[in-house]
Chain A
Amino acid sequence: MSVKPASSNRPLSPFMIGPYYRAQLTSMLSITHRLTGLALAFGTVFLAAWVTAAAAGPDAFAVFADLANSIVGKLLLVAYTWAMLYHLCNGIRHLFWDTGRGFEMKTAYASGYAVIGASVVLTAAVWAFALLV
């Protein structure tokens, strides 16, 4: 009994964004949650390299620290910080939704704007703290 279901030839999400589906704040925050999640999954390799270099000794760590302190390294670190804080803030929004609350249009938009604001402010605060204090 291996009849291919008719649905197997249908296009897969997110084909509809753009031509058939007007993007709004809520859907864009949703896809950003996925994209930052994927980026953070790749980013675990960076964190593993960081502790592994430290475990390997001062010479290996110096190579890693030089790469991380370069301009490109710094920009990636800022992006990584924002991705983590965005995923964290929006993740808390998701956990709140899991209680069955916050789905009204007004509330969903308000929490969405709050997540954008909080992720940017927290990223700025973390880097200001790291560079100035």
Chain B
Amino acid sequence: MSLRSPLSQARGLGSAKEGVGHWWVQRLTAIALVPLSLWFVVSVARFSLFDYATMVAWIKAPLVAVALVLFFVAMIHHAALGVQVVIEDYVGNEGTKLVSIVLAKFALYAVAAASVFAVLKIAFGA
């Protein structure tokens, strides 16, 4: 057991080495999502993407598949960071807060994996 007080142990260590990481990645994904989401919305409006043949042909184009993967990854990473902040702000109980953040992140990254897998499956011509 250390005889030093918790304050003196923490002093000088800075911000656990990840100070602006969350903030920066939120901005990085936001900047990426400006062109990606505009492209996505315009594409959905331009092509009849609720028609099976049109949709599959659209995703089979390599650039579309790559852009869709980037869109899903950037959007869901951005969502995971944003949902975390909302939970931290509004959930008071520490246990509920932790469990909510873990569940939200697991769910969002499961959605990301399923989306990317589906895009690649269509692109590689299953």
- A interface residue count range (under 10 / 10 to 19 / 20 to 34 / 35 or more): 35 or more
- Tell me the A43-73 residues at the B interface (CB within 8 Å): 44-45, 47-48, 50-52, 54-55, 58, 61-62, 64-65, 68-69
| A-B pairs with lowest CB-CB distance, top 4 | A55-B118, A51-B118, A130-B45, A41-B79
Q: Which residues of B contact A108 (CB under 8 A)?
A: none
Bound-state CA distance A130–B114 (Å) is 27
The listed residue (A52, A54, A64) touching B59 by CB distance below 8 A is A54
Instruction: Flag if A48 contacts B111 (CB, 8 Å).
Output: yes
- Tell me how many residues of B have a C-beta within 8 Å of chain A: 44
Q: Which residues of B contact A94 (CB under 8 A)?
A: 30
Instruction: Flag if B50 contacts A52 (CB, 8 Å).
Output: no
Instruction: Flag if B27 contacts A95 (CB, 8 Å).
Output: yes
**B121 proximal to A (CB < 8 A):** yes
| A13 nearest CB neighbor, chain B only | B89
Instruction: Flag if B50 contacts A68 (CB, 8 Å).
Output: yes
Q: Which residues of B contact A (CB under 8 A)?
A: 5-6, 27, 30-31, 33-34, 37-38, 41-42, 44-46, 49-52, 55-56, 59, 68, 72, 75-76, 79, 82-83, 86, 89-90, 92, 104, 108, 111-112, 114-115, 117-119, 121-122, 126
**A98 proximal to B (CB < 8 A):** yes
**A40 proximal to B (CB < 8 A):** yes
Instruction: Flag if A47 contacts B42 (CB, 8 Å).
Output: no
Q: Can you report 12 A-B residue pairs in the complex whose CB atoms are below 8 A from each other?
A: A12-B89, A40-B75, A47-B72, A50-B49, A51-B122, A52-B114, A52-B118, A54-B56, A55-B126, A88-B38, A91-B33, A133-B46
Nearest CB on B from A84, distance (A): 6
Q: Are A61 and B55 also in contact (CB < 8 A) when A51-B118, A51-B122, A88-B37 are?
A: yes
Instruction: Flag if B111 contacts A45 (CB, 8 Å).
Output: yes
Q: Which residues of B contact A102 (CB under 8 A)?
A: none
